């Protein structure tokens, strides 16, 4: 199952609105085929794995898959039907699908066809892999990750005139890896005006560029801002009231939303008046030891 999880992680951030899923086929204690779901509309992990085998499935082989196989027809056929047709006799499932259309349906379908099924193997790891999808598919609201870089004594920025970064290159690389896994990045208008950020993914091979969301009450944003002038300038969304952000965004942001920028006034109003657990699903913080900058109110 760890090998299947490794396969699934290859497509993190690239399968939205679908979950990331990996599968491996084991025969005589050896992995003989691997596969993962690459993007929405592409073959699911189980099917990709079987195709990579390029031979008939041995009757004593076991398929390990991180997520319950789908049991309905959508862009692709039902994976349960394909597994039965391929002659898979044993299936080990990491986590049940959070999708109400599929949840718990694959197991009885496979068992009725004589397939041995085990569930819950590394279940928590498999569920955590798709925590964003699991929230969105049930609530139709994005999974929100609150990100910040700060010093151990609570500073989020340096004093004027000091070098611009409070974090090191490792933390900044992690930030881009995080961006590569989400559907959108959200900032307030003050961050846009003060920092003129690009809000793009850089240094991550094959990454999709996320939507860029600006929260503004006035709607008056600098036309010369970088995000209005690059090749991804069409991938933007504005909101004027914080309480109305998440519902409209669900039309373009299917799984994850990353609030970014310490100076985002409207974003601060949105988050600081409620408990973090009500506004964010996960917190990602980079801690540094340097003491400089101002204190975040």
Query: Which residue in 84, 266, 246, 257 sits closest to 192, CA to CA?
Result: 266
| Cβ burial, residue 144 (10 Å; 0-12/13-18/19+) | buried
Q: Worst-scoring range by mean pLDDT, 15-24, 39-48, 157-166?
A: 157-166
Question: Alpha-carbon distance 276 to 108, whole Å?
Answer: 40
Q: In terms of DSSP H, where are the helices of 140-227?
A: 169-179, 189-195
| Cβ burial, residue 60 (10 Å; 0-12/13-18/19+) | exposed
- Tell me the pLDDT tens digit for each residue of 169-193: 888 888 899 899 988 888 888 888 9
Q: What is the mean pLDDT of residues 140-153?
A: 81
Question: Alpha-carbon distance 197 to 226, whole Å?
Answer: 7
- Tell me the pLDDT tens digit for each residue of 85-117: 999 999 999 999 999 988 999 999 999 999 999
Q: 59 near 87, Cβ under 8 Å? A: yes
Question: Alpha-carbon distance 182 to 174, whole Å?
Answer: 13
Q: In terms of DSSP H, where are the helices of the chain?
A: 2-9, 45-53, 79-86, 106-112, 123-129, 131-139, 169-179, 189-195, 246-249, 265-272, 276-279
Backbone region of residue 293 per phi and psi (left: phi > 0; alpha: psi in -120 to 50; beta: other values):
left
Measured in degrees and rounded to the nearest 5, phi and psi for residue 2 equal: -65, -35
Q: 115 near 89, Cβ under 8 Å? A: yes
Q: What are the structure tokens assigned to 189, written together?
A: 């208008």
Reported as half-sphere exposure (CB side, CA atoms, 13 A), residue 83 has a value of 34
pLDDT of residue 83: 97
CB atoms within 10 A of CB 253: 29
Q: Is 253's pLDDT higher than 90?
A: no
Q: 58 near 40, Cβ under 8 Å? A: no
* 183 vs 250, residue with greater confidence: 183
pLDDT of residue 22: 98
Q: How confident is residue 15, by pLDDT bands cut at 50, 70 and 90?
A: very high
* 290 vs 137, residue with greater confidence: 137
Measured in degrees and rounded to the nearest 5, phi and psi for residue 272 equal: -80, -15
Q: Is 34's pLDDT higher than 80?
A: yes
Q: How confident is residue 131, by pLDDT bands cut at 50, 70 and 90?
A: very high
Question: Alpha-carbon distance 272 to 260, whole Å?
Answer: 14
Positions marked active-site? 46
| Cβ burial, residue 54 (10 Å; 0-12/13-18/19+) | exposed
Question: Alpha-carbon distance 247 to 105, whole Å?
Answer: 29
pLDDT of residue 276: 42
- Decide: pTM greater than 0.85: no
Q: CA distances (Å), 132 to each of 149, 185, 189, 196, 254, in order?
A: 22, 14, 26, 28, 9
């Amino acid at each position: 199952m760890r090998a299947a999880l490794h396969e699934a992680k290859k497509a993190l951030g690239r399968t939205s609105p679908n979950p990331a899923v990996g599968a491996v086929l084991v025969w005589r204690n050896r992995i003989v085929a691997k596969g993962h779901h690459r993007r929405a509309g592409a073959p699911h992990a189980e099917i990709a794995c079987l195709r990579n085998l390029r031979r008939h499935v041995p009757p004593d082989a076991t398929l390990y898959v991180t997520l319950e196989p789908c049991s309905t027809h959508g862009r692709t056929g039902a994976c349960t039907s394909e597994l039965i047709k391929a002659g898979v006799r044993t299936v080990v499932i990491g986590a049940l699908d959070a999708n109400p259309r599929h949840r718990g349906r694959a197991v009885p379908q496979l068992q009725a066809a004589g397939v041995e099924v085990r569930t819950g193997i590394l279940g928590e790891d498999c569920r955590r892999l798709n925590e964003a999808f699991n929230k969105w598919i049930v609530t139709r609201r994005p999974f929100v990750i609150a990100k910040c870089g700060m010093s151990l004594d609570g500073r989020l920025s340096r004093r004027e005139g000091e070098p611009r970064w409070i974090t090191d290159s490792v933390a900044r690389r992690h930030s881009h890896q995080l961006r590569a896994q989400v559907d959108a990045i959200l900032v307030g208008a003050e961050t846009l005006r003060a920092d003129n950020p690009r809000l793009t993914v850089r240094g991550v091979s094959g990454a999709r560029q996320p939507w860029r969301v600006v929260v503004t009450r006035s709607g008056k944003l600098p036309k010369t801002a970088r995000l209005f002038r690059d090749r991804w300038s069409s991938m933007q969304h504005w909101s004027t009231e914080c309480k109305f952000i998440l519902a409209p965004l669900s039309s373009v942001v299917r799984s994850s939303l990353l609030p970014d920028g310490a100076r985002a006034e409207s974003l601060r109003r949105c988050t600081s008046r409620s408990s973090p657990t009500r506004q964010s699903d996960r917190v990602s913080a980079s801690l540094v030891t340097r003491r400089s900058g101002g204190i975040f109110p």
